[in-house]
């Protein structure tokens, strides 16, 4: 088994941390983001990774350089979100669990970008960390299909579990069993961080493209001059909507006109309200003839 320094913060990283502990590896130190307000209210809370580490009695720091003083033979990085300086990388080999099939979707939002692009497959790669963004050589990858209706959160959970299994498998004989990484092969694409504008629905686009935005999460539009979130939608309405299609964004009995057909609303969240079934919202909204999302 390996003596490991683990760096990560969100739930996907916590899944990998628990898998390493369960496999018997010695976690010398966990580095995670400091406690901060998470969700509603003013109470500070630890990251999911810190919460797991604390519960297991593993020492926790928020300083990356601390990994150099604990006798670790390997660093494992999962969704850490911070740059690791060359002076640390020069002294400790680090393997990154990256949620894409490198070199496709290097960067901060590989899961979301894969869905927005309509990719049919994704996966996880174990990559040797370098100073440059996700350019390091790869030890191993595991692939999986992306479900036709799979959300970013659902895919991220599956990739977290796939990555945990791959990590445990490749470290079964200790850090030496990782082997020698191979250079990335193919054309690189970059997964820039998702912005609010990336999730702003343009109803003149194709229904399938809009549905992919919705699957990423928090896709939004404007209704009666207020922000309106679409949580679930179905582009198959393209095949059964009225033949005469009005301007994009027009609402007609639960269907919304798009650039090439119809999108059916399934779950929505009007401004100042909770998430609800679209049918419930429609009953109360009293949509006027020709009324549209902006």
pLDDT (mean) for 253-261: 91
Q: What is the structure's pLDDT at 140?
A: 98
Q: Which residue, of 176, 191, 206, is where some domain finishes? A: 191
| CB 101 within 8 Å of CB 122 | yes
Does residue 44 contact residue 34 with C-beta atoms inside 8 Å? Answer: no
14 with 142, same domain?
yes
Q: Same structural domain for residues 202 and 256?
A: yes
Task: Kindly report, residue by residue over 131-172, the tens digit of the pLDDT.
Answer: 999 999 999 999 999 999 999 999 999 999 999 999 999 999
Q: What is the CATH number of the domain that holds 276?
A: 3.10.25.10
How many CA within 13 A on the CB side of residue 193? 4
In a domain, 165, yes or no: yes
Which tokens go with 65? 């350089």
- CATH number of the structural domain spanning residue 15: 3.40.50.170
CA distances from 116 to 44, 57, 67, 110, 266 (A): 33, 40, 36, 10, 19
Do residues 45 and 138 both lie within one domain?
yes
pTM to 2 decimals? 0.93
User: Across all residues in the chain, what is the average pLDDT?
Assistant: 94
- What are the pLDDT digits (tens) for 102-138? 999 999 999 999 999 999 999 999 999 999 999 999 9
Regarding whether 153 and 214 lie in a shared domain, the answer is no
Query: The domain containing residue 55 runs over which residues?
Result: 3-191
Q: How confident is the model at residue 3 (pLDDT cuts 50, 70, 90)?
A: very high
């Amino acid at each position: 088994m390996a003596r490991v320094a683990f760096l990560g913060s969100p739930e996907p990283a916590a899944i990998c941390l628990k898998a390493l502990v369960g496999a018997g590896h010695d976690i010398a130190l966990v580095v995670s983001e400091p406690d901060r307000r998470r969700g509603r209210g003013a109470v500070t809370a630890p990251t999911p990774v810190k919460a797991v580490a604390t519960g297991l009695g593993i020492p926790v720091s928020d300083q990356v350089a601390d990994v150099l003083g604990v006798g670790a033979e390997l660093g494992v990085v999962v969704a850490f979100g911070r740059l690791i300086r060359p002076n640390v990388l020069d002294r400790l080999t680090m393997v990154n669990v990256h949620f894409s099939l490198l070199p496709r979707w290097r960067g901060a939002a590989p899961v979301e970008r894969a869905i927005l692009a309509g990719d049919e497959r994704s996966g996880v790669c174990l990559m040797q960390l370098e100073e440059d963004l996700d350019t390091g050589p790869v030890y191993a990858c595991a692939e999986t299909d992306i479900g036709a209706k799979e959300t970013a959160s659902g895919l991220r959970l599956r990739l977290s579990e796939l990555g945990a299994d791959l990590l445990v498998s490749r470290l079964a004989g200790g850090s030496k069993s990782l082997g020698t990484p191979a250079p990335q092969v193919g054309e690189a694409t970059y997964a820039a961080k998702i912005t609010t504008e990336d999730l702003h629905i343009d109803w003149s686009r194709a229904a399938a493209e809009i549905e992919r935005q919705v699957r990423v999460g928090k896709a939004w539009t404007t209704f009666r001059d207020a922000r309106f979130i679409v949580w679930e939608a179905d582009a198959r309405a393209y095949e059964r909507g009225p033949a005469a299609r009005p301007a994009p964004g027009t609402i007609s009995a639960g269907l919304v006109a798009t650039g090439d057909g119809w999108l059916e609303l399934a779950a929505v969240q009007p401004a100042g309200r909770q998430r609800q079934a679209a049918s419930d919202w429609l009953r109360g909204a009293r949509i006027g003839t020709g009324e549209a999302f902006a």
